[in-house]
């Protein structure tokens, strides 16, 4: 319960102690702690097990690049695996658990992997699990799945809300360290719209983690004054806990803001996280630098971490990872850690510097020209072995080792487009280069400005330059006197000696040996190296490890690192939850739901609904006593043919076509002719794609010389409108024609059955003649109903019965449905849904999307003669090509079950006795139903030479469901082939 490693100072609020648990043990930290700093303060070094070898691991960094300290946070449905303890802000009541261990973190049975490292070397999957092939799915993969991986999912739905938003700014500044703050101050004072985003919950970057960067004013004083001023500027938006994770085209950035992850309970009004799409005119990348490790034998024990992290824990979080520490470095910065730790009261047991001319910054045991060659301590570091410059070996006891191999500019966002880093010898690291994302510049340590002085000036200068491009004049602010020690480094990547393993990529358990093996086996390109060894993959994406791997590869190839090159950084910079990408678009809000005006009425009737695209349509209307949907559908279909039924067809696409050339335009759109369609008449129309395949069908009604109303199928409404606009704007801009989609403007109902006219006559206003003579089959008219309500009436039939479709402005839709039910009571009017609609149209042989499935031509559909040869229309030329017109091609036919067995849609058709193989496949069933009229299963389908095979018995194979049936080929017009009913 005691914070044994806590020292004075730091940026903590010690008046606010926070209780938390790790692996069910209780601990206490303070507000301002991360989970990592609080665990270290409590003397907890062991935080996880490694991916492959299950090696004990502790925290390695103090930031988002953490490879080791991955834990699961929270419990129940909010359980979140693979969270980096270094960026998990502590809150009261936090529960955290370690991962990848069984039965416990200290005693992990899979640790046995560590004794067989040669089994798990680079490419072990490829080499080990090759044969027998059948073993892969059933034996190897389950074992690997269980053994590998880190945290486990809760398998419960995520209870949190996520949101998406859009932000606009003149200048986006990524990172609020010295460079970012100076840039924000410069641009903010100039009045530019600025967004300053930082992934940390405290702004300031290294200013919060270092001692004495600003020697005169002091880090804290300047930081708080600057943040206060920025907060006071209305044109500056400060975004903490906000990670810019991707740079996209044209100045668009992806930003994840974590609103409530640091709160003990979900906030009532806030989404957990917000995914922002940031439109920036200019952006400055001020993402700083991350330190890199040096590989040596057993360099992964808990207690070994980056030197800069060791000092960040001491300065910002007032934590000494251990009372006795050592440093292993190849540059001057490592010595700074020793100085800071001594100031906090730690005993520095050794500073081991690979350079013979190592400087000494304070009174500590310095071993120049020496290397750490091995370490000891099973669950945490106990001692290091140092090869001294005279060749002798020295054991030094210490509980923490800070390693510094130099600092890498954190340039990931500069590479998300075409930026390709180049090597800079001065700092021995890659720096941003190539074509950066449009409008982006890089400042501060991310751009090799490694001192605080350089970063402050670089940030301010970049802001002045960016604003100048936008025509805004900005002045340089007064910047504080800052540390400006030059970088002094001798590149050093790995200790050469030793038979053990030196880790390069901690997260993926990739060692120097693995890189050597990859090289030996020919995987020499950096991209191959990555895929073969998994170096640089997973949550840290090689932020720490990439360069180490490249350096070893360069050494083996005898080339400089600059020539070996580097792998490409891609978004996201750090992991983004899938929930944030989904935002509000989940469950029933996955996409908008479209409801027709009479949806409420249908609900009152107890309708069962079905999704049709974004629409909800009434599928059938069960009545009390009906126990099976088929019972309901049969009743509805029979009622239509016996008396009259009403079906909501509002969802059909409706397109208003107007203009002097409207008829010429439709002539081009439809393969059949429309020029001669009289006013007051409708016509069925078939649209082809330019490749000759049927695209959609529907009717076009002519209300005036220059006014048509076109209907499309529900599913293709959007696509057909787009196509028609393409034809109008791109192919025939000379035609005087205008289009508008009116799908949402009209509610439309099919009124079908022998009593349809009688029913409609009751609601149509006097003066409109809809008698068979006055309003014949395929007539259309604009009229009024119910005492002056405007309506459109079409005498068209999908069911094969005497039928009409009546349309009213949307706001009257619900009322019209109720009026039709009331007026139709004397005819026992029956509402019917999409199922009965389907039965009726199959019985009549009308095709829908099942038949116009993107593979069938007019000829296949039996409508080959409809394609007019007297005019040009889309698809005409190619509908005549070989392959679409051949005499033995498939034709639409009707199929009747011979023995009463179902004919499932999707079944394939074979000649009697033919082997059921693809070679003998003659066609397929596109639509099927039980016909209550014929009292047997029927279907529509396509079969080779169907037109010549009427009466033939064929076999229907459905290997998916294991079924086999026999069917007779008949005309697709099962009902009223002469069309007498619909003309009655």
Partner 1 sequence: MLIPHPLLGLRDAQEFVYKGDARLMARPDPQADDALQAFHDYTYLRDNPAGQHRELWFHEQGDRSWLIVTRDTRTHEILKAELARPRGKGERT
Q: Does 520 bind partner 1 (CB under 8 A)?
A: no
Peptide bond into 62 cis (omega under 30): no
Does 435 participate in binding partner 1 (rule CB under 8 A)?
yes
CA angle 519, 525, 530 (to 5 degrees): 80
Least gap, CB of 434 to partner 1 (angstroms): 12
Residue 484: how many other CB atoms lie within 10 Å: 15
Instruction: Choose among 813, 781, 664: nearest CA to 732.
Output: 664
Strands (E) across 561-693 are located at: 594-595, 608-612, 615-620, 645-648, 653-658, 682-688
The sign of the torsion formed by the CA atoms of 897, 642, 836, 922 equals positive
CB 894 within 8 A of CB 972: yes
438 part of the interface to partner 1, by CB under 8 A? yes
744: contact with partner 1 by CB under 8 A = no
Binder among 124, 129, 279, 703 for partner 1 (CB under 8 A): 279
Looking at 90, 252, 512, 807, which residue binds partner 1 (CB under 8 A)? 252
Cα dist. 941→270, 688, 816, 839, 967 in Å?
54, 20, 37, 14, 11
* Nearer CB in complex with partner 1: 508/672: 672
| In the complex, minimum distance from the CB of residue 272 to partner 1, in angstroms, rounded to a whole number | 24
* Pair 209, 62: CB distance under 8 Å: yes
Least spacing, CB of residue 457 vs partner 1, in Å: 31
Please, which residue, 725 or 980, has the CB nearer to partner 1?
Answer: 725
Q: Cα 654–590–602 angle (5° rounding)?
A: 55
Of 417 and 525, CB closest to partner 1: 417
Piece of 242-250, 312-320, 372-380, 456-464 that binds partner 1 (CB under 8 A): 242-250
Residue 616 forms beta bridges with which residues? 595, 611
The CB-of-881 to partner 1 minimum distance in angstroms stands at: 6
| Cβ contact 285:414 at 8 Å | yes
Contact mark string toward partner 1, 682..721, x via CB under 8 A: --------xx--------------------------x---
CA dihedral 774, 778, 781, 785 (to 10 degrees): 80
The verdict on 418 binding partner 1 (CB under 8 A) reads yes
> How far, in Å, CA of 312 to CA of 336, rounded?
11
3-state SS assignment for residue 803? strand
Report if residue 470 touches partner 1, rule: CB under 8 A.
no
Chain centroid offset of residue 725 CA:
31
Q: Which two tokens stand for residue 558?
A: 């005898």
| Among residues 876, 907, 922, 958, the one that binds partner 1 under rule CB under 8 A | 876
- CB nearer to partner 1: pick between 878 and 905: 878
Specify whether the CB–CB gap between 526 and 465 falls below 8 A. Answer: no
CB-wise, 728 or 981, nearer to partner 1? 728
The reply on whether position 666 binds partner 1 by CB under 8 A is no
| Residue 29: strand pairing partners | 18
DSSP H stretches of helix in 605-655: 629-642
3-class state of residue 167 by DSSP: strand
Shortest Cβ distance from residue 691 to partner 1 (Å)? 5
Nearest to partner 1 of 143, 877 (CB atom): 877
Considering only residues 482-511, where is the footprint of partner 1 by CB under 8 A? none
Q: Which of 214, 275, 210 is nearest to 62 (CA)?
A: 210
Nearer Cβ to partner 1 (201/279): 279
Among 216, 249, 588, 888, binds partner 1 (CB under 8 A): 249
Nearer to partner 1, 559 or 881 (CB): 881
Quote the least distance from Cβ 677 to partner 1, whole Å: 22
How many residues are there in the chain? 984
Angle between helices 452-469 and 178-189 (to 10 degrees): 40
| Per-residue x/- track, 352-371, partner 1 (CB under 8 A) | --------------------
The stretch among 248-256, 311-319, 791-799, 946-954 that binds partner 1 (CB under 8 A) is: 248-256
855 counts as binding partner 1 under rule CB under 8 A: no
Please select the residue that binds partner 1; options are 268, 730, 918, 960, rule is CB under 8 A: 730
CA distances to 424, 524, 760 from 520, rounded to whole Å, are: 28, 8, 85
For partner 1, which is the closer residue by CB, 472 or 874? 874
> Rule CB under 8 A: is residue 923 a binding residue for partner 1?
no
Sheet holding 594-595, edge to edge: 594-595, 615-620, 608-612
For the CB of residue 793, give the shortest distance to partner 1 in the complex, in Å. 29
Q: Which tokens sit at 252?
A: 């668009």
CB of 441 to partner 1, least distance (A): 17
Closer residue to partner 1 (CB): 784 or 885: 885
Q: Is 877 in the site for partner 1 (CB under 8 A)?
A: yes
Residue with smaller CB distance to partner 1, 544 or 668: 668
Query: Does residue number 654 form part of the binding site for partner 1 (CB under 8 A)?
Result: no
Find the shortest distance in angstroms from Cβ 516 to partner 1.
37
Residue 733 interacting with partner 1 (CB under 8 A): yes
Nearest distance in Å: CB 690, partner 1: 5
Both ends of the chain: CA-CA distance in Å? 91
Helix, strand, coil share of the chain (percent; to 5):
25, 30, 45
Query: Minimal distance in Å, beta carbon 862 to partner 1?
Result: 23
- What Å distances lie between residue 671 and 349, 818, 870, CA to CA? 89, 39, 10
Q: Is 971 in the site for partner 1 (CB under 8 A)?
A: no
Quick one: which of 784, 880, 947, 971 contacts partner 1 (CB under 8 A)?
880
* Token pair belonging to 306: 């980056």
CA distance readout (Å), 896 to 110, 908, 939: 63, 14, 7
Q: How far is the CB of 713 from partner 1 (least distance, A)?
A: 18
Q: Does 725 bind partner 1 (CB under 8 A)?
A: yes
Binding of partner 1 by 728 (CB under 8 A)? yes
Residue from 570, 660, 722, 865 touching partner 1 (CB under 8 A): that is: 722
Q: Compute and round to an integer the Cα radius of gyration of the chain.
A: 37
Question: Site for partner 1 (CB under 8 A): how many residues?
Answer: 26
In sequence order, which residues have a C-beta less than 8 Å from that of residue 280 and are 6 or more positions away? 168, 169, 170, 171, 172, 195, 251, 252, 253, 439
Write down the least CB distance from residue 164 to partner 1, Å.
12
Cis ω on the peptide bond leading into residue 87 (within 30° of 0)?
no
Nearest distance from residue 725's CB to partner 1, in Å?
6
Residue 954 is given by DSSP the state: E
Supply the minimum distance, in Å, between the C-beta of residue 664 and partner 1: 15
- Considering only 112, 153, 731, 887, the residue that binds partner 1 (CB under 8 A) is 731
Least separation, in Å, of the C-beta of 675 and partner 1?
Answer: 16
- Cα 756 to Cα 772: distance, rounded to the nearest angstrom: 12
Which residue in the set 729, 772, 855, 961 belongs to the binding site for partner 1 (CB under 8 A)? 729
> Which listed range, 590-598, 707-715, 729-737, 853-861, lies at the site for partner 1 (CB under 8 A)?
729-737
Q: Is residue 603 a contact residue for partner 1 (CB under 8 A)?
A: no
Residue 311 contacts residue 616 (beta carbons within 8 Å) = no
d(CA 277, CA 262): 23
Q: In angstroms, give the least distance from the CB of 696 to partner 1.
A: 17
584 part of the interface to partner 1, by CB under 8 A:
no
Residues in contact with partner 1 by the rule CB under 8 A: 248-252, 279, 418, 435, 438, 690-691, 718, 722, 725-726, 728-731, 733, 872, 876-878, 880-881
């Amino acid at each position: 319960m005691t914070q044994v490693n806590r020292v004075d100072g730091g940026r903590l609020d010690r008046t606010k102690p926070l209780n938390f648990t790790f692996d069910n043990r209780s601990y206490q930290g303070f507000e301002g702690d991360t989970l990592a700093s609080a665990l270290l303060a409590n003397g907890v070094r062991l935080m996880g097990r490694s991916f492959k070898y299950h090696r004990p691991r502790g925290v390695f960094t103090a930031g988002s690049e953490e490879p080791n300290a991955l834990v699961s946070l929270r419990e129940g449905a909010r359980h979140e695996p693979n969270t980096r303890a270094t960026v998990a802000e502590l809150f009261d009541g936090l529960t955290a658990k370690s991962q990848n261990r069984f039965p416990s973190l200290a005693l992990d049975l899979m640790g046995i992997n560590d004794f067989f490292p040669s089994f798990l070397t680079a490419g072990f999957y490829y080499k080990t699990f090759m044969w027998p092939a059948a073993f892969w799915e059933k034996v190897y993969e389950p074992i690997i799945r269980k053994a590998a991986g880190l945290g486990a999912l809760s398998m419960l739905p995520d209870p949190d809300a996520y949101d998406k938003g859009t932000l606009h700014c003149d200048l986006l500044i990524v990172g609020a360290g010295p460079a970012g703050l100076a840039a924000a101050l410069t641009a903010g004072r100039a009045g530019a719209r600025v967004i300053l985003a930082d992934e940390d919950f405290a702004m300031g970057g290294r200013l919060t983690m270092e001692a004495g960067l600003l020697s005169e004013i002091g880090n804290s004083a300047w930081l708080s004054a600057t943040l206060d001023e920025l907060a006071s500027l209305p044109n500056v938006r400060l975004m903490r806990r906000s990670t810019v994770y991707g740079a996209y085209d044209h100045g668009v950035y992806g930003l994840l803001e974590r609103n409530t992850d640091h709160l003990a309970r979900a906030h009532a009004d806030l989404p957990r996280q917000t995914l922002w799409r940031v439109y920036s005119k200019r952006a400055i990348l001020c993402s700083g630098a991350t330190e890199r490790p040096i590989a040596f034998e057993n360099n992964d024990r808990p207690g070994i971490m980056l030197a800069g992290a060791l000092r960040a824990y001491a300065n910002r979080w007032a934590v000494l990872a251990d009372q006795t520490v050592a440093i292993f470095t190849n540059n001057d910065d490592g010595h700074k850690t020793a100085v800071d730790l001594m100031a906090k009261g730690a005993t520095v047991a050794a500073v081991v510097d690979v350079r013979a001319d190592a400087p000494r910054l304070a009174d500590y045991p310095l071993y120049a020209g020496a290397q750490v060659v091995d370490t000891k301590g099973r669950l945490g570091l106990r001692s290091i072995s140092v090869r001294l410059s005279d060749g002798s070996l020295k054991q030094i006891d210490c509980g923490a080792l800070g390693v510094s191999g130099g600092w890498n500019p954190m340039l990931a966002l500069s590479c998300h487009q075409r930026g390709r880093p180049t090597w800079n010898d001065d700092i021995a690291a890659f720096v941003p280069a190539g074509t950066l994302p449009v409008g982006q510049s890089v400042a501060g340590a991310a751009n090799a400005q490694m001192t605080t002085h350089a970063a402050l000036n670089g940030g301010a200068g970049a802001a002045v330059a960016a604003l100048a491009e936008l025509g805004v004049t900005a002045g340089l602010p007064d910047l504080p006197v800052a540390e400006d020690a030059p970088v002094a480094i001798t590149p050093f990547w790995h200790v050469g000696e030793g038979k053990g393993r030196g880790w390069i990529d901690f997260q993926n358990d990739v060692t120097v040996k693995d890189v050597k093996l990859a090289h030996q086996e020919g995987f020499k390109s950096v991209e191959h190296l990555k895929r073969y060894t998994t170096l640089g993959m997973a949550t840290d994406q090689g932020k720490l490890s990439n360069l180490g791997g490249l350096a070893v590869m360069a050494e083996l190839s005898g080339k400089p690192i600059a020539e070996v090159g580097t792998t490409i950084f891609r978004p996201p910079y750090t992991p983004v939850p899938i929930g944030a990408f989904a935002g509000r678009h989940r469950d029933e809000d996955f996409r908008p739901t479209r409801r027709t005006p009479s949806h409420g009425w249908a609900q009152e009737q107890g309708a069962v609904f079905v999704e049709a695209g974004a629409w909800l349509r009434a599928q059938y209307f069960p009545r009390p006593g009906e126990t099976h949907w088929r019972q309901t559908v049969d009743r509805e279909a029979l009622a239509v043919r016996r008396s009259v039924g009403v079906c909501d067809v509002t969802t059909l696409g409706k397109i208003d076509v107007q203009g002097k050339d409207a008829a010429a335009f439709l002539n081009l759109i439809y393969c059949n002719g429309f020029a001669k369609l009289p006013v007051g008449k409708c016509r069925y129309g078939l649209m082809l794609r330019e490749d000759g395949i049927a695209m959609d069908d529907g009717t076009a009604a002519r209300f005036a010389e220059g006014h048509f109303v076109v209907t499309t199928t529900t599913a293709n409404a959007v696509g057909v409108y787009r196509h028609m606009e393409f034809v109008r704007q791109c192919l025939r801009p000379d035609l005087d024609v205008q289009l508008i989609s009116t799908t949402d403007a009209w509610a439309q109902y099919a009124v079908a059955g022998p009593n349809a006219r009688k029913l409609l006559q009751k609601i149509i206003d006097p003066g409109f003649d809809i008698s068979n003579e006055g309003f014949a089959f395929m007539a259309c008219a604009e009229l009024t109903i119910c005492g002056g309500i405007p309506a459109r009436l079409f005498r068209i039939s999908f069911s094969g019965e005497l039928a009409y479709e009546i349309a009213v402005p949307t706001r009257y839709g619900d009322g019209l449905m109720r009026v039709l039910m009331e007026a139709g009571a004397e005819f026992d009017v029956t509402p019917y849904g999409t199922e009965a609609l389907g039965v009726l149209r199959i019985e009549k042989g009308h095709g829908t999307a099942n038949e116009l499935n993107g593979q069938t031509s007019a000829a296949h559909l039996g409508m080959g003669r409809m394609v007019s040869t007297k005019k040009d229309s889309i698809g005409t030329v190619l509908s005549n090509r070989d392959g679409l017109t051949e005499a033995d091609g498939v034709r639409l036919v009707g199929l009747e079950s011979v023995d009463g067995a179902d004919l499932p849609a999707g079944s394939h058709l074979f000649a009697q006795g033919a082997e059921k193989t693809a070679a003998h496949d003659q066609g397929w069933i596109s639509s099927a139903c039980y016909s209550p009229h014929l009292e047997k299963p029927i279907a529509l389908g396509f079969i080779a030479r169907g037109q010549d095979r009427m009466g033939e018995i064929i076999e229907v194979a459905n290997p998916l469901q294991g079924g086999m049936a026999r069917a007779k080929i008949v005309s697709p017009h099962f009902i009223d082939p002469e069309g007498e009913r619909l003309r009655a």
